[in-house]
């Protein structure tokens, strides 16, 4: 069946609207149907609030992830041969250096995630954002000894200035935008890599709320749909995790079940954010345009 020419529209000047049908086909290494990347959010929350109070429930719950949960998560990913792409609050480098060291030993990719998860970029003016982004990236670079290529904002929040500030800081991709199943190039050259708010364990704690088994079924179904579609048009799937959620004794088995389900399928590329960027940019037709469209 011939696909008619599809018009490109826009409601803003950040990126073009391109419908999922009719796009030029991408390919992933090994002919994979789905590029699966796993994003552990390794975070630090402040114990003290500006009013002088201490947030014991929030702090202690998340602190469990850095003391206990992350080690369970690492063991499971190790077993399936998965390298994480860490959304890293840079304060973790100071407060939990053993965690960062363990990530580096596993050759996990580190991307910026602000300084702490207690402050949103959307609440800051451009100069304050520039300083925060620069400080976070500098601290992660010093700890990791490598360039930082990607960014996930705390809470996925941005202001109108954020994308240009990220690009100016030398980043090549962000995953704040959950608007597609494939990479999308912004007009300023920054690449958006598919992240997720559904296949994200935070949904077991925050609205829209899923029960543990409902979330497990949702993630498996999401993979199955993308895998089926990927036979003709390969896709990207992100699984977003938080050590203080998935790393608890009652939930770690959910991750094992999900990864075993994925491992039972051929033609899956278990990868990182940076590798997705390189594979996308390495395809001349994809890197030359803003998501080329098939016109006939």
Is pLDDT at 264 greater than 70 in this prediction? yes
120 vs 245, higher pLDDT: 245
Helix ranges, 145-271 (H): 162-168, 212-229, 243-246, 252-263
| Structure-block tokens of residue 52 | 């002088």
| Structure-block tokens of residue 63 | 């602190």
What are 41's strand-pairing partners? 87
Is pLDDT at 1 greater than 60 in this prediction? no
- CB of 231 within 8 A of CB of 189? no
Q: What per-residue confidence (pLDDT) applies to 46? A: 87
Average pLDDT over residues 254-271: 98
Is pLDDT at 7 greater than 70 in this prediction? no
Q: What per-residue confidence (pLDDT) applies to 138? A: 98
Is pLDDT at 295 greater than 60 in this prediction? no
Is pLDDT at 8 greater than 80 in this prediction? no
Is pLDDT at 135 greater than 60 in this prediction? yes
Rounded CA-CA distance 63/81 in Å is 26
- CB of 77 within 8 A of CB of 84? yes
Confidence of residue 17 (pLDDT cuts 50, 70, 90): confident
The distance from CA 266 to its chain's CA centroid, rounded to whole angstroms, is 23
Average pLDDT over residues 114-118: 92
249 vs 47, higher pLDDT: 249
Rounded CA-CA distance 249/76 in Å is 13
Q: List the domain boundaries for the chain.
A: 29-288
Count the Cβ atoms, other than its own, within 10 Å of residue 252: 18
| Structure-block tokens of residue 227 | 């895998």
Rounded CA-CA distance 75/252 in Å is 10
Q: In terms of Cα–Cα distance, which of 105, 38, 109, 95 is closest to 67?
A: 95
**70-107: per-residue pLDDT in tens?**
999 999 999 999 999 999 999 999 999 999 999 999 99
Is pLDDT at 32 greater than 60 in this prediction? yes
**181-232: per-residue pLDDT in tens?**
999 999 999 999 999 999 999 999 999 899 999 999 999 999 999 999 999 9
Is pLDDT at 294 greater than 70 in this prediction? no
- CB of 105 within 8 A of CB of 144? no
HSE-up (13 A, CA, CB side) for residue 85: 28
Q: What per-residue confidence (pLDDT) applies to 11? A: 74
Count the Cβ atoms, other than its own, within 10 Å of residue 5: 9
- Report whether CATH 3.40.50.720 matches the domain 29-288: no
Cis preceding linkage at 208, omega within 30: yes
pTM score of the predicted model: 0.91
Chain mean pLDDT for the chain: 91
For 138-170, the three-class secondary structure string (H helix, E strand, C coil) is: HHHHHHHCCCCCEECCHHHCCCCCHHHHHHHCC
Rounded CA-CA distance 154/122 in Å is 9
Is pLDDT at 259 greater than 50 in this prediction? yes
- Residue 28 Rama label (left phi>0; alpha psi -120 to 50; beta): beta
Rounded CA-CA distance 151/202 in Å is 18
Q: What per-residue confidence (pLDDT) applies to 12? A: 82
Average pLDDT over residues 150-177: 95
H/E element holding 74?
helix 70-79
Is pLDDT at 3 greater than 50 in this prediction? no
- CB of 116 within 8 A of CB of 149? no
Q: What per-residue confidence (pLDDT) applies to 6? A: 54
Rounded CA-CA distance 203/186 in Å is 28
Rounded CA-CA distance 130/233 in Å is 38
Counting residues of the chain whose pLDDT is more than 70, the rounded percentage is: 92
Q: What per-residue confidence (pLDDT) applies to 202? A: 96
236 vs 50, higher pLDDT: 236
Rounded CA-CA distance 119/104 in Å is 26
């Amino acid at each position: 069946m011939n696909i008619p020419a599809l018009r490109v529209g826009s409601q803003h000047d950040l990126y073009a609207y391109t419908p999922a049908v009719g796009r030029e086909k991408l390919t992933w290494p090994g002919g994979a149907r789905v590029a699966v990347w796993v994003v552990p959010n390794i975070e630090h929350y402040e114990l003290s609030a500006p009013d002088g109070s201490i947030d014991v429930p929030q702090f202690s719950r998340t602190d469990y992830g850095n003391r206990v949960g992350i080690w369970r998560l690492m063991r499971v990913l190790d077993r399936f041969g998965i390298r994480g792409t860490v959304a890293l609050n840079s304060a973790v480098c100071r407060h939990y250096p053993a965690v960062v060291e363990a990530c580096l030993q596993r050759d996990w990719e580190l991307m910026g995630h602000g300084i702490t998860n207690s402050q949103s970029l959307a609440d800051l003016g451009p100069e304050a954002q520039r300083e925060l982004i620069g400080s976070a990236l500098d601290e992660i670079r010093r700890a990791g000894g490598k360039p930082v290529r990607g960014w996930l904002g705390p809470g996925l929040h941005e202001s109108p200035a954020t994308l240009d500030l990220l690009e100016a800081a030398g980043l090549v991709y962000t995953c704040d935008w959950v608007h597609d199943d494939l990479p999308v190039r912004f007009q300023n050259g920054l690449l958006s890599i598919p992240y997720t708010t559904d296949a994200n364990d935070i949904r077991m704690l925050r609205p829209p709320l899923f029960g543990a088994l409902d979330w497990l079924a949702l993630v498996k179904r999401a993979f199955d749909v993308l895998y089926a579609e990927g036979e003709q048009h390969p896709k990207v799937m992100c699984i977003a995790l938080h050590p203080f959620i998935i790393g608890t004794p009652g939930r770690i088995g959910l991750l094992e079940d999900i990864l075993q389900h994925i491992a039972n399928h051929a033609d899956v590329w278990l990868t990182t954010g940076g590798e997705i960027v390189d594979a996308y940019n390495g395809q001349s037709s994809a890197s030359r345009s803003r998501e080329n469209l098939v016109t006939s």
